[in-house]
Amino acid sequence: MTIDAAFAALVEANPIPDPRSYAKHRLEPAAFLTATRERTKDMQTIDQQESRQKARQRKWQPFAAVAAFVLVIAVGVAAALALSGGDDAANIPAPPFDTPQEAVEAWVAAQNAGDGEAYLLLFAPDASDGALNQGGIASEKTIKDRVEMVAATETVFSVVECVAESAAQAKCVMTRHNPVWAISSGTSGSEESVVLTIDKSGAIARVGVNLIDGGTFDEARHDAYLAFMEANYPDLRAELNRNWASDPIDRPAADIGRESLAAAREFNAQYDG
């Protein structure tokens, strides 16, 4: 069969030749925007509820302030005696979280700190963590390794914006930036959509992650990186792309782990030389 005939056969095999009739039951744009605004309104409602709670709390503030002062002194003395020095893990908030946004901040902080122990403490016992891409089924060791490796490879998460979809669920946009990975593959990091839910106990029950924007991919640079690894570090090269075999829209990935971090830096120095 000629190339043109093969291509024509593919055109003919289009499963949805008429997109207009396929989408005839679509949501109207006004309804779509209303749904988007409803999410914003939910967030405002929660803010108002929190404001009212805070106003009620203010009535007790004069009495509470005295008690708190005494308590702070006592806790401060105890902490000074108990702790030998500063510890980043102590800065990561732990459950119960009052709002899903607080949980998002703690989730991001634990990953940036590479603190696997603190990360595990954020979750309810039967939680599902889509960030691991393992359907929520993973051993504690796997989770800790993953979180620690994220920080070891200098990946930094940042929350761009966060909207409460309900009192228990937040939908956020966050960025994931890894300077070494970015240089090796030419991407400028990625932007992701995160849906995080907390349960009644205030612990994280579910995290779902979807990629929004993977950045611009420099294919030539990535090919050069893989060739460099093949020539100089064949054992490490075999480990790259190990998780991407069944991707239907195959996008090469310059995965970098603890072992290949130094090699990636070496490549970057040579390539930019």
Per CB under 8 A, contacts with another protein among 224-243 are: 243
Work out whether strand 190-198 and strand 169-177 pair parallel, antiparallel, or are unpaired.
antiparallel
Helices (H), the chain: 3-12, 19-22, 29-59, 61-82, 100-113, 116-121, 140-152, 179-185, 219-232, 234-239, 258-272
Nearer CB in complex with another protein: 118/254: 254
What angle, rounded to 10 degrees, do the helices at 258-272 and 219-232 form? 120
Q: Does 62 bind another protein (CB under 8 A)?
A: no
Residue 218 CB coordination number (10 Å): 18
153-180: burial string, b at 16+ Cβ within 10 Å, e else: bebebebeebbbbeebbbbbbbbbbbeb
Residue 160 parent element (H or E): strand 156-164
- Please tell me whether residue 260 adopts helix, strand or coil conformation: helix
Decide whether 42 or 266 has the Cβ nearer to another protein. Answer: 42
Q: Which of 63, 220, 234, 272 binds another protein (CB under 8 A)?
A: 220
CA distance 241 to 238: 8
Find the shortest distance in angstroms from Cβ 22 to another protein. Answer: 6
Selected binder of another protein within 72, 247, 259, 270 (CB under 8 A): 247
In whole angstroms, how close is the CB of 251 to another protein at the nearest point?
A: 6
Give the contact letters, 150-189, x = binds to another protein (CB under 8 A), - = no: -----------------------x----------------
Q: Nearest 5°: phi and psi at 152?
A: -60, -30
Peptide bond into 248 cis (omega under 30): no
Residue 134 near another protein by CB under 8 A: yes
**Residue 171 vs residues 17, 42, 104: alpha-carbon distances, Å:** 34, 12, 9
Q: Would you count residue 142 as binding another protein (CB under 8 A)?
A: no
From 113-121, 149-157, 197-205, 249-257, span contacting another protein (CB under 8 A): 249-257
| One residue of 145, 177, 217, 266 binding another protein per CB under 8 A | 217
Q: Number of residues interacting with another protein: please give it, by CB under 8 A.
A: 51
Does 15 bind another protein (CB under 8 A)? Our answer is: yes
Nearer to another protein, 22 or 60 (CB): 22
Does 126 sit near another protein (CB under 8 A)? no
Q: Does 135 bind another protein (CB under 8 A)?
A: yes
Chain positions contacting another protein, by CB under 8 A:
1-3, 5-7, 9-16, 19-20, 22-23, 26-27, 29-30, 32-33, 36, 130, 133-135, 137, 173, 193, 209-217, 219-220, 243-244, 246-251
